[in-house]
């Protein structure tokens, strides 16, 4: 029971860090275009992250039972997965790199699961989970984000070429409020569910191992014989992500909103709308997408249409390296932590 409480605290810490680490996903563009002040943007993102987190559980189900064989999972395995993701998120946040919290958690879970299975890689569900819902989207979603962002921006340029810059700025200054809210809502539907899935996995593991057999009647709600996400888990994760978002994430906001490409409201609208559509589709199908990858490449696509040389490709290169290293790095950390836990 004590270990479960530690797991829940670690999950809350991860979700809180996820909130301020990924706050930039929803609000970097709306801040850089000066449509909202940073405080206003964070308040908007926090509220709509909350509404999104309360919607659906398909992604939570994928994380809880679709990535690894639950038969080898212990409470320590879950804790090590969370710690690996937290470590990576803090490192990349400190460096100002918009890496994927989703892939950090999945990588940590895979590494810890392999360690718990004593090196048996067959515990990873490659064909039904990892390949179609993690690895393939890892490469396809950034490409789709770039192309759709570029296409939408090109269409907007064609439609708006007879408008004066003042009118365009005025129209999309208001429209970007809607697109930023939608992006924040979409982020909540996908990212908050990952922690829901990991807590539900811990509940299932505790029930299966008998850890909750002797708890007082007051705590019988912890017993979860299946992977149905309990209401209290949804509310806890939603509220924690909103609180984390409210804390902000200025290092990453500067990278996405200022260092990569100079944006105006129409560009911010195009990038946010593109990302929100992709994330909503992924959430519907239970795909734990990297919202960071999608919004970053949408911004790149929009910026490339505006002026290809205007995109600071050296900054993009640093971001791409962070993306590529996330899964193997967190997998290794999760493996080492789980092996150390088994030794003690």
Say whether 102 sits in a helix, a strand or coil: helix
How much is the pLDDT for 2? 84
Q: Which two tokens stand for residue 197?
A: 């899935």
Q: Is residue 22 part of a domain?
A: yes
140 lies in some domain: yes
For the chain, 344 residues long, the average pLDDT of each consecutive 10-residue run is 90 86 71 80 84 85 91 94 93 77 92 95 93 91 92 94 89 91 89 89 88 80 78 88 74 56 83 94 90 84 79 71 87 96 86
Q: Is residue 344 part of a domain?
A: no
Q: Tell me, what's the pLDDT at 171? A: 92
Asked if 3 contacts 77 with a C-beta cutoff of 8 angstroms, the reply is no
- What pLDDT does 226 receive? 75
CA–CA separation, 263 and 199 (whole Å): 38
Structure tokens at 49: 């992250």
Our count of domains for the chain comes to: 1
Question: Of all helices (H) and strands (E), which one includes residue 9?
Answer: helix 2-21
pLDDT score for 275: 93
Per DSSP, helices labelled H in the chain are: 2-21, 23-32, 38-53, 58-65, 75-95, 101-116, 136-160, 165-209, 231-247, 250-254, 265-284, 291-306, 313-343
Residue 338: what pLDDT?
A: 96
What global pTM score does this model have?
0.86
Write down the pLDDT at residue 19.
78
Q: Which two tokens stand for residue 255?
A: 């990278």
The boundaries of the domain holding residue 219 are: 2-337
User: Residue 265 domain-assigned?
Assistant: yes
Q: Quick check: is 196 in a domain?
A: yes
């Amino acid at each position: 029971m004590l270990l479960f409480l530690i797991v829940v605290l670690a999950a809350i810490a991860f979700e809180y860090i996820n909130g301020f680490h990924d706050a930039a996903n929803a609000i970097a563009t709306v801040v850089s275009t000066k449509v909202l002040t940073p405080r206003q943007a964070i308040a908007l993102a926090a509220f709509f992250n909350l509404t999104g987190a309360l919607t659906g559980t398909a992604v939570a189900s994928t994380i809880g039972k679709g990535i690894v064989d639950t038969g080898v999972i212990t409470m320590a395995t879950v804790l090590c997965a969370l710690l690996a993701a937290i470590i990576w998120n803090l490192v990349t946040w400190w460096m100002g790199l918009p890496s994927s919290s989703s892939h950090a958690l999945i990588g940590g879970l895979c590494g810890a699961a392999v360690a718990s299975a004593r090196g048996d890689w067959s515990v990873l569900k490659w064909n039904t989970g990892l390949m179609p819902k993690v690895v393939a989207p890892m490469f396809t979603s950034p490409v789709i984000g770039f192309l759709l962002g570029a296409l939408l921006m090109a269409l907007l340029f064609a439609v708006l070429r007879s408008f004066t810059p003042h009118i365009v700025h005025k129209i999309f200054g208001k429209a970007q409020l809607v697109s930023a809210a939608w992006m924040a809502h979409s982020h909540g539907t996908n990212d908050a569910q990952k922690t829901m899935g990991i807590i539900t996995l811990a509940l299932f593991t505790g029930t299966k191992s008998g850890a909750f057999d002797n708890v007082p009647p007051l705590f019988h709600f912890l017993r979860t014989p299946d992977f149905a996400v309990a209401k209290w888990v949804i509310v806890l994760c939603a509220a924690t992500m909103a609180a984390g978002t409210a804390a902000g994430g200025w290092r990453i906001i500067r990278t996405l909103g200022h260092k990569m490409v100079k944006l105006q409201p129409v560009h911010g609208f195009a990038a946010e709308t593109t990302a929100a559509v992709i994330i909503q589709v992924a959430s519907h199908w239970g795909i734990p997408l990297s919202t960071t990858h999608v919004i970053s490449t949408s911004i790149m696509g929009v910026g490339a249409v505006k002026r290809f040389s205007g995109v600071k490709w050296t900054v993009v290169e640093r971001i791409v390296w962070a993306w590529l290293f996330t899964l193997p790095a967190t997998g290794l950390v999760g493996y080492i932590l789980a092996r150390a836990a088994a030794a003690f």
